[in-house]
Chain A
Amino acid sequence: MSATNSITSTPPVPGRWPEWFQHDQQRAWDLFQSLPLPSRRDEPWRFANIKATDLSGFSAAAPVRDAADLVSRSSGLTGLSAKLVFGNDALLHSETADLPSGVLVMPLEKAAKEHGDLVRKSFMTSEVRLGSKKFAALHKARLRAGTFVHVPKGVAVHKPIEIWHWVEGESAAVFPHTLIVLEEGASATVIDRFVSAGNDASLAVAVNDLSLGAGSRLSYVGVQDWSGRTTAFHLNTTEVEKDGTSIALQMNLGGAYIRGESDSHLLGEGSRSVMLSINPASGEREIDQRTFQDHFAPRATSDLLYHNALADSSKTIFAGLIKVEDAAHETDAYQKVRNLMLSDEAEANSMPGLEILADNVRCTHGATSGELNQDELFYMMARGISPKQAAQLIVRGFLGTVLERLENEELQSHLGAILDRKLEI
Chain B
Amino acid sequence: MSTETKPEIDIDRSVGDFRYEMDYAYDAGVGLTEATIDYISDVKGDPDWVRTFRKEGYRKFLEKPMPTNWATKDLENIVFENIRYYLAQGQQPKRSWDEVPDDIKKTFERLGIPEQERKFLAGVEAQFDSEAAYSNIKAAVGEQGVIFVGSTEGLKEYPEIFKKWFGKVIPSGDNKFSALNSAVFSGGSFIYVPPGVKVKHPLQAYFRINAQNFGQFERTLIIADEGAEVMYMEGCTAPKFETSTLHSAVVELVAMKGAKIQYITVQNWSSNVFNLVTKRGLAHEDAEIKWIDCNIGSRLTMKYPGVVMKGKGARGEVVSIALAGDGQHQDTGAKMIHAADNTTSNIVSKSISLGSGRATYRGMVHVPKHLKGCKNNTECDALLINTHSRTDTYPAISVRGQGNAVQHEASVSQISAEQIFYMQQRGLSEGAAMSLAVNGFVNDLVQQFPMEYSVELKRLIDLEMEGSVG
Question: Once the chains bind, are B400 and A346 in contact (CB under 8 Å)?
Answer: yes
Q: Does B136 contact A (CB under 8 A)?
A: no
Question: Once the chains bind, are A366 and B409 in contact (CB under 8 Å)?
Answer: yes
Question: Once the chains bind, are A369 and B397 in contact (CB under 8 Å)?
Answer: yes
Chain A residues contacting B394 (CB-CB under 8 Å) are 351, 353-354
Given contacts A341-B402, A343-B401, A346-B401, contact A364 B411 (CB under 8 A): yes
Q: Does B436 contact A (CB under 8 A)?
A: no
Q: Does B424 contact A (CB under 8 A)?
A: no
Q: Using an 8 Å CB-CB cutoff, how does the interface string of A335-372 with B read, 1 for contact, 0 for none?
A: 00001011111111111111111111111111111111
Which of the candidate stretches B179-187, B228-236, B380-388 sits at the interface with the other chain? B380-388
Interface residues of B in 371-417 (CB under 8 A from A): 382, 384-414
Given contacts A346-B400, A364-B411, contact A370 B406 (CB under 8 A): yes
Question: Once the chains bind, are A41 and B69 in contact (CB under 8 Å)?
Answer: yes
Given contacts A347-B400, A352-B393, A366-B409, contact A360 B414 (CB under 8 A): yes
Chain B residues contacting A98 (CB-CB under 8 Å) are none
Question: Once the chains bind, are A359 and B387 in contact (CB under 8 Å)?
Answer: yes
Q: Does B138 contact A (CB under 8 A)?
A: no
Size of interface on A: residues with Cβ below 8 Å to B: 39
Q: Does A398 contact B (CB under 8 A)?
A: no
Q: Using an 8 Å CB-CB cutoff, how does the interface string of A148-169 with B read, 1 for contact, 0 for none?
A: 0000000000000000000000
- Identify which of A42, A353, A354 contacts B69 (C-beta below 8 A): A42
Q: Does B370 contact A (CB under 8 A)?
A: yes
Q: Does B369 contact A (CB under 8 A)?
A: yes
Interchain CA distance A350-B395 in the complex, whole Å: 8
Question: Once the chains bind, are A359 and B406 in contact (CB under 8 Å)?
Answer: no
Interchain CA distance A350-B390 in the complex, whole Å: 23
Shortest Cβ distance from B409 into A: residue? A366
Interchain CA distance A47-B398 in the complex, whole Å: 9
Q: Does B70 contact A (CB under 8 A)?
A: yes
Question: Once the chains bind, are B402 and A354 in contact (CB under 8 Å)?
Answer: no
- Identify which of B70, B399, B403, B408 contacts A347 (C-beta below 8 A): B399
Q: Does A405 contact B (CB under 8 A)?
A: no
Question: Once the chains bind, are B409 and A365 in contact (CB under 8 Å)?
Answer: yes
Interface residues of B in 246-277 (CB under 8 A from A): none
Chain A residues contacting B395 (CB-CB under 8 Å) are 350-353, 367
- Identify which of B391, B401, B407 contacts A356 (C-beta below 8 A): B391
Question: Once the chains bind, are B401 and A361 in contact (CB under 8 Å)?
Answer: no
Q: Using an 8 Å CB-CB cutoff, how does the interface string of A189-229 with B read, 1 for contact, 0 for none?
A: 00000000000000000000000000000000000000000
Chain A residues contacting B403 (CB-CB under 8 Å) are 341, 344, 371
Shortest Cβ distance from A361 into B: residue? B412
Question: Once the chains bind, are A352 and B384 in contact (CB under 8 Å)?
Answer: no
Chain A residues contacting B411 (CB-CB under 8 Å) are 363-364
Chain A residues contacting B408 (CB-CB under 8 Å) are 350, 352, 365-368
Interchain CA distance A359-B388 in the complex, whole Å: 8
Chain A residues contacting B393 (CB-CB under 8 Å) are 352-354, 365
- Identify which of B369, B387, B412 contacts A345 (C-beta below 8 A): B369
**Which 9 residue pairs of A and B lie closest in terms of their CB atoms, listed nearest first?**
A344-B401, A354-B393, A371-B402, A341-B402, A369-B399, A363-B412, A369-B406, A368-B407, A350-B397
